[in-house]
Structure 1
Amino acid sequence: MMSYSFCMLTAAAALLVPCHALNCPGLPELSDNTTLGGLLRLLEPILGPTWPFRREKLPEPQVPMGLQGLPISRNTEFSDVLVNFRQRLSRLEGALTLNGKITKAGEKILASNGKKVTFSSALESCEQTGGTLATPMNKEENKAILRIVEQYNTNAYLGIKESETSGQFEYMNGTPLNYTNWYQYEPNGKGTEKCVEMYTNGNWNDRKCNLYRLTICEF
């Protein structure tokens, strides 16, 4: 059985062809090689734009406010978020490569591979994964490092070194310490102990750099 749409199309075509033969006004030209699609377009002024299917037109996609006409590279807020995400992902990837204990303190990710090595080897291991030796700059970060120290139950090197002035300690980039947690009467190496370790109670002690201590990195 022929569909209703096909019958309507046949009837309309039958009316359109003789009308063109009589040069009816208001109708477009009908060529000898008009296709079905072309015939439908010719019938559109009579039958409407959705005939014969009667389907609603799909709505146009909406562009989010603030992004109209702007390429991603020019949208500052989006670019900043993307850069921050990439940085955080990079730090996390570095921490995961150590395949050990991982914790978080503020914006820092702290991780250990569980290995005990000299200070220079520990620093090198951290830098190879995109980080540096764990460096507590406040009480919260000190507690986070301590959690890893407690899990391994052994002392760990910190990213702190003695400056050129005997008895004065600084961060690896040469800036003075803004937070300390020295054990009682420490540091007392007086130039002979140039590195710093964390005890299993969270306190610090100056120590020689060639001893084997736990590696903890920050990212």
Structure 2
Amino acid sequence: MASEVFVSPRFFVLEDGILGSRFDTDVDTVEPTHLADAPRCAKCNDFIGMLTWLPPYRVKLELHGEELGDFIDGVGYELLVSERFVEAFRAEGLTGLEGFQPVEVVRVRRMTKRSRKPLTVPRYFVVWPCFGRAAVDLVLNRVRVSSPPTCTECRATGIDATHGFVLEPGTWAGEDIFRPRGMQGKVVVSERFKDFVERHGLTNMVLTPTEQYVRDPSHLGPAPLPTT
């Protein structure tokens, strides 16, 4: 009998639409704004996230594109997703999101006159991707850091440039959307999540394979490959 071939799972970085897209939208919270302490690592007690937004969840939107999408990146670690997204996410049993609290959209300001058709405002919910067990691979990543991580649990460090990254085999616990250890500032999703987005035609969601993800504002270039 032929032996089975193991295929490593594929992962993608989730971001909202690019600047200037038809769904280009900015979001800001509306006073009063209440915040809780930022999450900390259970081992080293260092911060691994931003201050947590508490209710009431009220926002104002600035629409630079033509219509509002199913996904809007928030002002902190929170994300805004449409009711259509929430219903499909729950119906298909995907995992990794927390919250699902309704958001009041106080105002939508249209910043362009490209479209004259009436604007439909979806019902939005605030969600947070969980902090997953998956960890970035400390050897194979093409990531430049300001200093090596000192905590084996959170692996938090300052990241100066990213030219692709991979997750350490055996660390992923199966979540469909999560923030990985060592790169908590990024939202990573599974291939099942990618298929879900495409099948339902969910809008304003850009998915880039982790090994192809590039962010290098200072043009430092990729970290050198490990030598053998």
Question: Higher relative CO (CA 8 A, sep ≥ 6), structure 1 or 2?
Answer: 2
Higher helix fraction: Structure 1 or Structure 2?
1
* Larger Rg computed on CA atoms: 1
TM-score bucket of the superposed structures, by smaller chain: under 0.3
Higher strand fraction: Structure 1 or Structure 2?
2
Normalising by structure 2, report the TM-score: 0.20
